[in-house]
Amino acid sequence: MATLEIDRVRKSYGHLEVLKEVSISIEAGDFLVLLGPSGCGKSTLLSLIAGLEEITEGEIRIGGQGVNDLMPKDRDIAMVFQSYALYPTMTVRENIEFGMKIRKIAKADREKATQAAVELLQIDHLLDRKPSQLSGGQRQRVAMGRALVRNPKLFLFDEPLSNLDAKLRVDMRTEIKRLHQRLGTTIVYVTHDQIEAMTLATRVAVMKDGIVQQLDEPQIVYERPANVYVAKFVGSPA
């Protein structure tokens, strides 16, 4: 049984059909990248996986259970967005520990989880700072730290690097890849950047207008694109 099963999913907003019939199955440890231009439905699909939006037709199952049948606390998903959405008045430590506090995790366990995450992300020297005292890349690391301490079964990333400058994007790409290798977690990662997709993914789903055009390992997508659209989008040699 796949960890995450997206089964003939359709999503409409009023008359606008955003996802047409999307089926993807994701195994534990996969790093699936949803790649496609702005407006093709990537964020919508992530929101459906996270249970934040209602599915119009079809089903999404996590560990065999429909996302909408699971209580939010049982969904075991952590999301990292493009805008880091840190609490401005809290320190880095407070930002990272906030979710655990809400879930009434004991102080010693919170501290232990935080320490492991900040060491992994190399932000242990920033624990007492406020978000305003951090660079963009550092803030994004804190946002990832906050997701990491939840130790979720599934990570969802929505264009987490698109607000960073080019050099940082490359550094963070390496970081995320390392995290995935170290932790072996399952990741669904949205981007419109083909290089990001090609370097990070174990599998890539290339999307256009709410339809998955091709779903394959990055090298296969690049070398054997399913159609002209995919070839152009990933920059395959002619």
Binding site for ligand ADP (CB under 6 A): 13, 16, 18, 36, 38-44
Residue 39 C-beta: closest distance to ligand ADP, Å:
4
Residue 158 C-beta: closest distance to ligand ADP, Å:
7
Dihedral angle, C-alpha 125, 129, 130, 136, nearest 10 °:
-40
Residue 43 C-beta: closest distance to Mg ion, Å:
3
* Residue closer to ligand ADP, measured from CB, 18 or 67: 18
- Greatest extent of the chain over all pairs of C-alpha atoms, in Å: 58
- Report yes or no: 197 and 33 within 8 Å, Cβ to Cβ: yes
- Report yes or no: 200 and 173 within 8 Å, Cβ to Cβ: yes
Picking from 36, 64, 60, the residue whose alpha carbon sits closest to that of residue 50 is 60
What, of ligand ADP, Mg ion, none, does residue 51 touch, CB below 5 to 8 Å by kind? Answer: none
What, of ligand ADP, Mg ion, none, does residue 179 touch, CB below 5 to 8 Å by kind? Answer: none
* Residue closer to ligand ADP, measured from CB, 6 or 92: 6
Q: Which residues make up the interface to Mg ion (CB under 5 A)?
A: 43
Residue 72 C-beta: closest distance to ligand ADP, Å:
19
Task: Give the separation between CA 127 and CA 142, rounded to whole angstroms.
Answer: 9
